[in-house]
Structure 1
Amino acid sequence: MNAIVEAVAFLLGFLSWVMVGVALPNRYWKVSTVDGNVITTSTIYENLWMSCATDSTGVHNCRDFPSLLALSGYIQASRALMIAAIVMGTFGILATLVGMQCSKAGGENYVLKGRIAGMGGVFFLLQGLCTMISVSWYAFNITQEFFDPFYPGTKYEIGEGLYIGWCSATLAICGGSCLVCACKMGTPEKVPYPYQPTRGTVYSGGPPSQSAPSNYGRNAYV
């Protein structure tokens, strides 16, 4: 496996893991819309854990969701997927660190290290898929409620937390794909045949050289 590809893939995976940690506690997963409202006295924004409101003076108040079972199913699933993404990203970082060629962990068996690095790529792919499903499912419900003319509750728009999640998922999928595609399972190298010069006289432009001595003795001639 190319060491440069490993370094780039590890950097992408690490950045995606950090961005998942930033997106998960971000408060602005969805923000109340001002579409159709002439006067806006307060703004409501929510994430997977709490709901907050701020008024025109800048005073804001947040409250945690009181019950887990009372939440919508997609919020519970998004929570589980985001936590799973952090766990998968942690395994991916550890496996990639062990499997990198520049790392002394794992010994000098580069075939085994390449396989470990490939497993790190699989973990990064799983992290990206969990994050992508979580934020996309959450955004789908926001847009579904926004364009529903009969929805009686507050309508929301997509917040910055979802955009951070999408960027994180894209980086994780790119980093994991680089590790998986560049992983080589240790193919044996072909040893070239040794060069054997043929007997005879080689003319190099100078005076003719004497022929090589024969292996036959004098008694061989009849």
Structure 2
Amino acid sequence: MASKGVQIVCVALGVLGLIGVIVCCAVPRWKVSSFVGSNIVTAQSSQEGLWTTCVVQSTGQQQCKNYDSLLVLASDLQAARAMTIISAMLSGLSLLILFCGADFTTCIENEDAKPKISLVAGIGLLLAGLLVIIPVSWSAHNIVREFNSPLVLASQKKEMGACIFIGWAAGVLLLIAGGLLCCFSRPGSGSSGGTAKYYSNSASAPNKNYV
């Protein structure tokens, strides 16, 4: 069974990963304007996220607009929406399961069931980490491909925003937490299943006849 220290570390990593996934999902910083080549006008810059696109003026004013329709979005953006939401829900549920099956809580008193519950929580955190790493890596690949494409104008090129790196960090934290739980949360073998009992019959030893 995982020690209390390992479980506490996994809880901390899971909470940090969950916060990162929420920030990655909510903040519109997946794509930002790239000022390269002839695009040296820095009076305003654009920022794109999963839900809104924003224009930031040099004076600090920011105007954001929601996307008109889900059907007109790119496939990677549609997948990123679904995966990040599922990742946040799955990581939150896994943390609740981990709290119930942890050694430092008394929600469940059955010691044999706690390792299994912690193992389920670890698998959930692993899946949550993969669900956030896949969309940010997909978006990063598309951004780099469009940036290096000669068919895209310099004024239309984008760079990776902060949410891409936050998503990678959150995914790694969730993978580490889930991996530690899966490695240390193994049910132990029972110690009372094959106990042998011996009885002494010295008091009732049979009489021996000597010839």
Q: TM-score range by the shorter chain?
A: 0.7 to 0.9
Amino acid in structure 2 at the alignment position of 1:81: M
Equivalent residue in structure 1 for 2:186, among 167, 184, 187: 184
Structure 1 unpaired stretches of 5+ = 194-219
1:167 to 166, 169, 183: 169
CA offsets 1:126-150 (integer angstroms, 9 cap, x no match): 1100000011111111111101111
2:4 partner letter: A
Which of the two has greater helix per residue?
A: 2
Q: What residue number does 1:32 align with?
A: 33
Q: For 1:69 and 1:39, how far apart are their aligned partners in 2? A: 32
Is residue 115 of structure 1 aligned with residue 124 of structure 2? no
- Report the Cα distance in structure 2 between the residues aligned to 1:117 and 1:110, rounded to whole angstroms: 11
- CA–CA separation in structure 1 for the residues paired with 2:62 and 2:19: 27
What corresponds to 2:141 in structure 1? 140
Over residues 91-111 of structure 1, what are the superposed CA-to-partner deviations in whole Å (9 max), with x where a residue is unaligned?
Answer: 11111001101111122x222
User: Superposition pairs for residues 173-212 of structure 1, below 5 Å?
Assistant: 173-189=175-191
Once the 2 structures are TM-superposed, how far is the Cα of residue 79 of structure 1 from its aligned partner? 0.3
1:130 and 2:131 are equivalent in the alignment: yes
Q: CA deviation at 1:186?
A: 2.1
Using the size of structure 2 for normalisation, the TM-score is 0.86
Distance 1:6 1:58 in 2: 44
2:16 matched residue in structure 1: 15
Secondary structure of the corresponding residue to residue 112 of structure 2: helix
Alpha-carbon offset, residue 40 of structure 1:
2.6
**What is the identity, as a one-letter code, of the residue corresponding to 2:119?**
G
Residue identity matched to 1:73 = S
What's the % identity of the aligned pairs? 33
CA distance in structure 2 between the aligned counterparts of 1:7 and 1:54, rounded to whole angstroms: 41
Q: Provide the secondary structure at the position in 1 that maps to 2:105.
A: coil
* Distance in 2 (alpha carbons) for counterparts of 1:59 and 1:24: 22
Residue 54 of structure 1 deviates from its aligned partner by 1.8
Residue matched to 2:65: 63
Q: Residue type of the partner of 1:139?
A: A
Range with bigger deviation, 54-63 or 140-149: 54-63
Question: Which sections of structure 2, spanning at least 5 residues, go unmatched?
Answer: 197-209
Secondary structure in 2 matching 1:111: coil
The 3-state SS of whatever aligns with 1:124 is helix
CA distance in 2 between counterparts of 1:82 and 1:117 reads 23
Quote the Cα distance in structure 1 between the aligned partners of 2:57 and 2:148: 25
Q: What secondary structure does 1:188 align onto?
A: coil
* Counterparts of residues 99-110 of structure 1 (less than 5 Å): 99-107=101-109, 109-110=110-111
DSSP-derived class of the 2:98 partner = helix
Which residue is 1:209 aligned to? none
| CA deviations over 1:166-191 (Å, ceiling 9, x no partner) | 11000000000000010121213489
SS at match of 1:40: coil
Partner of 1:93: 95
Relative to structure 2, which stretch is displaced further, 48-57 or 163-172? Answer: 48-57
CA distance in 2, matches of 1:155, 1:110: 57
| Separation (CA, whole Å) in 2 of partners of 1:155 and 1:38 | 12
- 1:60 shift after superposition: 2.1
Runs of 4+ in 1 over 3 A off after TM superposition: 189-193
Q: Which has the larger radius of gyration?
A: 1
Shift of residue 192, structure 1, vs aligned partner: 11
Q: Which residue of structure 1 lines up, in the alignment, with residue 43 of structure 2?
A: 41
